[in-house]
Amino acid sequence: AKALGKARHEIFDFSMYSQAAQLLQLEMDLRRAVERQEFQVHYQPIVSLETYKIIGFEALVRWQHPQHGLVSPERFISLAEETGLIVPIGYWVLREACRQMRAWQLEFPAHPPLTISVNISSKQFCQPNLIEQIHQILQDTGLEASSLKLEITETVLMENYESATAMLLQLQEMNIQLHLDDFGIGYSSLSYLHRFPSSALKIDRSFVINIGANGKNLEIVQAIISLAHSLNIDVIAEGVETMDQLRQLQIKKCKHAQGYIFSQPLDSQSVDTLIASSLPF
Ligand code: C2E
Ligand code: CA
Ligand code: CA
Ligand code: CA
Question: pLDDT tens digits, residue range 187-224?
Answer: 677 777 777 778 899 999 999 998 876 678 888 899 99
228 lines ligand 1 (CB under 6 A): no
Cα torsion at 210, 213, 218, 219 (round to 10°)?
-140
- Asked whether this complex has an ipTM greater than 0.90, the answer is yes
- Distance of alpha carbon 273 from alpha carbon 278, whole angstroms: 9
- Distance of alpha carbon 8 from alpha carbon 203, whole angstroms: 50
pTM of the model: 0.92
Helix (H) or strand (E) holding 82: helix 73-83
Cα torsion at 241, 245, 250, 255 (round to 10°)?
-40
* Cβ atoms of 267 and 39 closer than 8 Å: no
CA of 12 to the centre of ligand 4 (A): 37
CA of 61 to the centre of ligand 1 (A): 8
- Strands (DSSP E) contained in the chain are 39-48, 54-65, 69-71, 115-119, 148-152, 177-183, 200-203, 234-237, 256-257
Q: Which atom of ligand 1 is nearest to the CA of 265?
A: 11
Q: Which atom of ligand 1 is nearest to the CA of 182?
A: 3
204 lines ligand 1 (CB under 6 A): no
Question: pLDDT tens digits, residue range 90-148?
Answer: 999 999 999 999 999 999 999 999 999 999 999 999 898 999 999 999 999 999 999 99
Closest Cα to residue 195, out of 214, 181, 210, 180?
Answer: 180
Task: Compute the half-sphere exposure of residue 185: CA atoms within 13 Å on the CB side of its CA.
Answer: 13
CA of 2 to the centre of ligand 1 (A): 51
State the pLDDT at residue 89: 97
